[in-house]
Structure 1
């Protein structure tokens, strides 16, 4: 088992007051090179027993000597862990190890199981010990705190499935902050909006697209209740998009708020680890007490410096994890570093915006294309004429390569007449071709035509699927 040298500190960071500046001031304000050296020491203590605890890592690290871990750079002596490694380990489950070959704690010590959303394949399951649950709650609370939630907030939690990464762990994080949890997930949208007024909700967490969906109905349903809005803070995550001023403006204007922050995590590691502070200059990393991060060049795997303007894939090492540890786990999240120096808020961790996922990347005539790049270009250049809801259609689930133009369905704005859809579609096709060197076939849809869920909304769909 892991030697939890810092476990005793966890309860002392619970429920920070409204006047506190940081959740974990000791590490959040320490110079980042010092944080990385601190992490390297703990990784050095974590690695020796890993191969005995996890048969997956015994195999993955068989040809690699233990690094001395004098610095975080020494991690490069170890291979990456891929999603396929985790999936294959899960497939080797047994009665003794129901969670597979990476189960590194006895089943009797597992107190909770989480499931991935299954948006990129069959669901993955992650076992947690009591310590793991406490770590998750601590990191998620730190993320919410960075994004501005406080113990006097009443928070609407809209994820309906407790077992997914955004279910119970998010709820635990709200409670750890000390906020009042109103779990409204699973109710119809109209009831969610009504109950938010009746419960005097002050804060909301939603995906970016569902935040827009709620913003469009907020005032109308609010008038029906006869109750004034107390909503003041909105956190959005799960999808890129808050880097666009138009989308931010529509959410803040529709919901009547000024406090809008972006958050992000990874269910395989911790469901919320990045949070935007009041400086609005990207999302800070908030899991440094329990997780180390690297930035790599996706094709070569070479480690890149955390420097403003750099782009790369984020790699995670969960060095304080009992049941399902991860070392150099490739997230497939591609990020733009928006800041690497001390932020105006005083935090020192790197700041990023997510620009896409390898899992979603498409290939058009040999060229890699992120669906988010197509979405961002269209919604930015045609703001007011299209909604930010669109999807690219594939012929089958495994299709990645396109030799013909990509079929793209786009919701038109209410102000656009149906008679103008065809002309607008041709304008969009011309813009995407000139700016991205990608041909698309754009189909304009009536407002509200595309599905919008509370949890995650994919930019890619299989043609003909429900």
Structure 2
């Protein structure tokens, strides 16, 4: 690797970077360097991975990848292919047909959260763990975490991609790790005060949930809050000013940053800088990204205003590599230049392709409904919605899509019917779909200590 790509934690004026050279390099140069790494990886990959021996069987052995555009010559890797490969597990290859390193070299397993189906398991060698901790540290550093911070890590499950890997990322920065996830909420709030935590990592849902008890429980300790920085992710939502404002006011902070990753690839890759205007890609040292049109698979340029599905290729992965892996995360490109000096694309995640709903021929993301309603009716409803499906595989709706919302505590119950009708008309006008709204009393929708599902199935436990 070129020496200029590995310098870490430099300072440029008032700006701070984890890897200054790579984060400020012109993006075309970054992509050119990445294409070299991918080209060198492809032939050995077929020898190591049964999955890619099959997927790439028809590719010429002398296929050249001179630019990331050449990746379009390669097939996509779909989640079902990974599941099928995992089902080929054996005593020597418990991670299945894509286990590309001997079992004796694998030191950790990571699990997806399983929010979109049966969990997938990914193996990491020691080198893979170094890659993950470096990328995640880079991401958290971009999002404002520093060595001087005391971090409350609130993901309660160690094996999921946001568990141990995130802890490793905080330790890589040198921050003081306080892993409080898994404790009851009231204990979390008390221990955060007693430990003088300055930073907090949680899902967006849990960040909202904490605001409801932050002051009441915290005051019982008699210790003033030291919290200054909050990192939230794991689900879309922080693109909504109402949700951001609720978390910032509720927790008494001035710095709220959105972060995102993908457990299949690296669990922390996208994070907001101090400009608070979209998440930068921060794993360019280890992963290449493409943006595609979901229906056709055609490449979409990384240009402001563009939308598409993110596709990942790991070129520094020993145990369970991924080439052109379709994330199903649908993104809006905010920009490709930033006042912070970083050159990687900035995005907002606007939903998952898998979650798309169809009302009489009109496509709509559930997040689009939520974002419109919470923005237009801020102060009248809480930023909590639930969209109902009759069964897990339902995509099409011939009748209006059922939506539950919570009224703001200041709203009298007598106006609920009129509020519901106003929301229906707004969504119909702006999104060209019909919804059936039920306005509920404050606190009626369930709160979760991990993620609050925007979509739910009638009658499911």
TM class by smaller structure: over 0.9
Per-residue CA distance 1:167-206 (angstroms, 9 max, x = gap): 0011111111110111111111111111110110000111
1:15: Cα distance to partner? Answer: 11
CA distance in 1, matches of 2:211, 2:152: 14
Matched, 1:118 2:121: no
1:283: Cα distance to partner? Answer: 0.6
Aligned to 1:465: 460
CA distance in 2, matches of 1:171, 1:15: 23
Aligned to 1:208: 204
SS in 2 for 1:265: strand
Match of 1:73 among 57, 69, 78: 69
Match of 2:441 among 419, 443, 446: 446
Aligned to 1:340: 336
Distance 1:44 1:298, change over 3 A: same
Aligned to 1:370: 365
CA distance in 2, matches of 1:363, 1:292: 32
Distance 1:165 1:130, change over 3 A: same
Aligned to 2:176: 180
SS in 2 for 1:320: coil
Name the count of aligned residue pairs: 460
Aligned to 1:39: 34
Q: TM-score, normalised by structure 2?
A: 0.96
SS in 2 for 1:47: helix
Aligned to 2:128: 132
Matched, 1:82 2:95: no
1:384: Cα distance to partner? Answer: 1.0
CA distance in 2, matches of 1:368, 1:268: 27
CA distance in 1, matches of 2:4, 2:317: 16
1:407: Cα distance to partner? Answer: 1.0
Q: Is the 8 A contact 1:308 1:337 kept in 2?
A: yes
- Once the two structures are overlaid, the 10-residue window that deviates more, 23-32 or 453-462, is 453-462
1:366: Cα distance to partner? Answer: 2.1
Aligned to 1:430: 425
SS in 1 for 2:183: coil
Matched, 1:231 2:203: no
Per-residue CA distance 1:132-157 (angstroms, 9 max, x = gap): 11111110000000000000000011
Aligned to 1:3: none
Aligned to 1:398: 393
CA distance in 2, matches of 1:354, 1:245: 15
Q: Is the 8 A contact 1:209 1:388 kept in 2?
A: no
1:165: Cα distance to partner? Answer: 0.8
Aligned to 2:352: 357
Q: Is the 8 A contact 2:152 2:178 kept in 1?
A: yes
Q: Is the 8 A contact 1:160 1:184 kept in 2?
A: yes
CA distance in 1, matches of 2:28, 2:101: 32
- Once the two structures are overlaid, the 10-residue window that deviates more, 454-463 or 105-114, is 454-463
Match of 1:301 among 297, 300, 305: 297
Per-residue CA distance 1:289-330 (angstroms, 9 max, x = gap): 000001111111111111111111111001100110000011
Matched, 1:389 2:384: yes
Distance 1:18 1:218, change over 3 A: farther
Q: Is the 8 A contact 2:18 2:141 kept in 1?
A: yes
Distance 1:99 1:10, change over 3 A: farther
Distance 1:19 1:154, change over 3 A: farther
Q: Is the 8 A contact 1:15 1:178 kept in 2?
A: no
Distance 1:57 1:132, change over 3 A: same
SS in 1 for 2:43: coil
SS in 2 for 1:228: coil
1:69: Cα distance to partner? Answer: 1.4
Aligned to 1:312: 308
1:92: Cα distance to partner? Answer: 1.4
1:419: Cα distance to partner? Answer: 2.7
Matched, 1:258 2:254: yes
Q: TM-score, normalised by structure 1?
A: 0.95
Listed as ranges, the gaps of 5+ residues in structure 1 are 1-5
RMSD between aligned residues: 2.0
Matched, 1:49 2:33: no
CA distance in 2, matches of 1:16, 1:140: 19
Per-residue CA distance 1:111-137 (angstroms, 9 max, x = gap): 111111111111111111111111111
Per-residue CA distance 1:345-402 (angstroms, 9 max, x = gap): 1111011111110121112112221000000011001101111111111111121111
Distance 1:372 1:197, change over 3 A: same
Aligned to 1:241: 237
CA distance in 2, matches of 1:327, 1:97: 20
CA distance in 2, matches of 1:388, 1:306: 30
Listed as ranges, the gaps of 5+ residues in structure 2 are none
Matched, 1:28 2:23: yes
